[in-house]
Structure 1
Amino acid sequence: MLIHTLKSLLAAVGTGLLLTAAHPARAADPGIGDGAITLGMSAPFSGPNGAYGKEMREGALAYFAQLNGAGGINGKKIELVTLDDGYETDRTVANTRKLIDENKVFALMAYYGSSPTTEAMKLFSEAKTPLLGTISGAGSLRSPVNRYMFHLRASYADETEAIVNHLVGMGIANIAVFYQNDGFGKSGKDGVVAALARHKLKPVAEGSVERNSLQVEAAVAQIAKSNPQAVIMVTLYKPTAEFIRQMRKAGQMPQFSTLSPIGADLLVAEMGAKDAHGVGISQVMPYPWNDTIPIVKEYHKALQTFAKHNRYSYYGLEGFINAKLMAEALRKTGRDLSREKLVTTLESTPFDLGGYKINYSPTSHNGSRFVDLTVLGRDGRVLR
């Protein structure tokens, strides 16, 4: 009897070992260490648009410094690997490959630009590596829904609709559009055209500039011929500043309006407060100088502690909010982290980040439709 019992026990143990071998424990996803969670970011830190990436990175690092100082996420510190892409698509793709294959990041965040992100999407989607926070409002990145990409800001369609509705509401009907000739600019231009069509209007003229170029002469000549009352500019700060200068030189004084990617502080620095006065800018983040909003107050404190200055900006705040959203999603996913569980958490959990709310679902990864219209004052400050 004893021998029979031992044989049965050994058989059961052997079966258990076979089952364990057939169903090994799930290996942790890349980027999850004993003491850290590694994230990756590709953005311009050099070149004509390097200031955008630097402000975003500073805001994100300020939040993570604050978080890590308080113990991190379930005892794990957050490490952010940042790579410079110069706002060039091929470099963004190369950076994405490096972040996933060499740096072994758990997830990506705060990618910059429509065209660069569109090409990088092929890589991170295949690797099933989530990207949280795209500095782009392009419709092509939003539809169809990509399971591994989540948007923090409103779309260009949301921004252009707000601008057009405001201009038409003031009795302005002759509206031209100046855009960057890439995914970013074309998406914004399409938004302008669609918004005007809802008012039974069309752009009176169109002009474009190539990415990372200041050659705006052809666009100025084309648009000036139409003598527009307003020009909506879907461009970044350097070509925008050059376009406005040349339009005024040509005797054109329309209402100039632009979208949030411009970076209000960068445009003022490029043009000077006097020349930037009166330019309208749509914004997709809360007003960075209003510390009555909890998330803005938190940003102020973290930036002062981490960066030792108080040069607040929309891009810096967006980087900060992006980092906080990532941290909150990681925390709510729990100790047994995986990329798929992070995606599920994002799709099923509303987030109130302190006055800025985000809500995703399996059928929509557009977290926010918040748009605020602002104008540059005489002293270069952003006025609401």
Structure 2
Amino acid sequence: MKFFATLLLSLSLAAPAFAATPGVTDTQIVIGQSAPLTGPAAQLGIRLRMGIEAYFKQVNADGGVAGRQLKLVSLDDGYEPPRAVANTKTFINGGDVFALLGYVGTPTTLAAKPLIDQAGIPLIGPFTGAMGLRTPVDPYIFNIRASYNDETRKIVDQFLFLGLKKIAVFYQDDAYGMAGLTGVQKALAAHGLKPVATGTVKRNTVDVAAALASILPAKPDLIVEVGTYTEVAAFNQQALAQGYGGQFANVSFVGSEALAKALGPSGNGVIITQVVPFPFSTVTPLVREYQAAMNAAGHKDDYDFTSLEGYIDAKVLVLALRKAGKTLTRASLMDALNGMSNENLGGFTVRFSPDDHSGSDYVDTTSITASGGFRH
């Protein structure tokens, strides 16, 4: 009896070792990402993942986080909500993913949100500016980029300053597009105005005929576009072919480099707001660090806004992992994130609190050049 009592005591003392934090071992921390890696929006997921992996490689080469190597597991959702839900279930039910990072898109992330909340698994840096992921504050979702309200307000205010008041909206017919449309409507309402016309496109399609027929007769000075690069390229090219001579402006989610490539010379002058610093300059320490990491990861001179955002997302996560300490739990990670009151990453500041998970309101304005580059 004494032997069995001793054995039971030993097993009870050893129990915590078997109930370890999911995705964390003595040598590794596993992070999950659901993103479009194939399909019409693939470049968004591919480039975001590229920036994340560049930072992870840099950290791992320096010994990891408290001796643990970082591993990113990316699953393709094709920018479709049901697939994002399935991927999230895999991460949660598999029990081998510690946290989530860099989900791409409003409809996909919103679809996964109930699972994230139920499991209590933190998601850092979703690639969306939707207010539905910001208010009310979700304790498990930490937004790093500025909101679509911030971006659309910047666009509207700049054009109204120029005296151009006829503003239309071309938007994706889903939660992402509605978030952008709402942002434009709110920004215009502050000046006693409304959109002169609107038009929609179904996600992952390029059927823009109805949107053109709805918008172009209003002869807008500016068309604010809330879509992905394939949809926007199709709309712009057909609008120009039909004689439109006004201005196009996009929010950052469009995929700047992919849009520039798709438009070619016709992209000259198309405006895109950005939520990260200019990735082609070496003015800020953060961008210099990012460029060096991209070069070391085998992507020499292959810089862009989306991979820089992935790099920033990964850096914020790692800073929080380090603050959370050696005995890592999801609760300690979230405590560390909530304690980031004014974290300067080298020219880009992030702040969180338990009452505010909008990490940044940084918005810049760029435009595409005739050669497919970007003006700042």
Structure 1 residues 184-219: Cα deviation after superposition (integer angstroms, max 9, x where no partner): 100000000000000111100000000001000000
Unpaired segments ≥5 residues, structure 1:
1-9
Unpaired segments ≥5 residues, structure 2:
none
Question: What's the TM-score, normalizing by structure 1?
Answer: 0.93
Between the aligned partners of 1:65 and 1:228, the Cα distance in structure 2 is: 47
Match 2:224 to one of 232, 236, 248: 232
**Counterpart of 2:263?**
271
Q: How many residue pairs align between the two structures?
A: 370
Match 1:165 to one of 157, 160, 168: 157
Does residue 367 in structure 1 map to residue 367 in structure 2?
no
Structure 1 residues 82-101: Cα deviation after superposition (integer angstroms, max 9, x where no partner): 11111011110000111122
Distance 1:59 1:22, change over 3 A: closer
Does residue 63 in structure 1 map to residue 55 in structure 2?
yes
1:57 is matched by which residue type in structure 2? R
Match 2:167 to one of 166, 175, 191: 175
Does residue 304 in structure 1 map to residue 303 in structure 2?
no
**Counterpart contact for 1:58–1:307, Cα < 8 Å:** no
Does residue 281 in structure 1 map to residue 262 in structure 2?
no
Between the aligned partners of 1:324 and 1:132, the Cα distance in structure 2 is: 11
**Counterpart of 2:331?**
340
2:369 is matched by which residue type in structure 1? G
Match 1:206 to one of 198, 201, 204: 198
Distance 1:145 1:251, change over 3 A: same
**Counterpart of 2:213?**
221
2:286 is matched by which residue type in structure 1? I
**Counterpart of 1:355?**
347
**Counterpart contact for 1:360–1:366, Cα < 8 Å:** yes
> 3-state SS of the aligned residue for 2:357?
coil
2:282 is matched by which residue type in structure 1? D
Does residue 34 in structure 1 map to residue 26 in structure 2?
yes
Does residue 46 in structure 1 map to residue 38 in structure 2?
yes
Distance 1:22 1:60, change over 3 A: closer
**Counterpart of 1:330?**
321
RMSD over equivalenced CA pairs, Å: 1.9
Following superposition, the deviation at residue 382 of structure 1 comes to 1.1
Structure 1 residues 204-258: Cα deviation after superposition (integer angstroms, max 9, x where no partner): 0000000001000000011011011111011111111111111112211111111
Between the aligned partners of 1:370 and 1:49, the Cα distance in structure 2 is: 24
**Counterpart of 1:320?**
311
Between the aligned partners of 1:102 and 1:140, the Cα distance in structure 2 is: 27
Following superposition, the deviation at residue 28 of structure 1 comes to 2.6
List aligned pairs for 1:69-218, cutoff 5 A. 69-102=61-94, 104-218=96-210
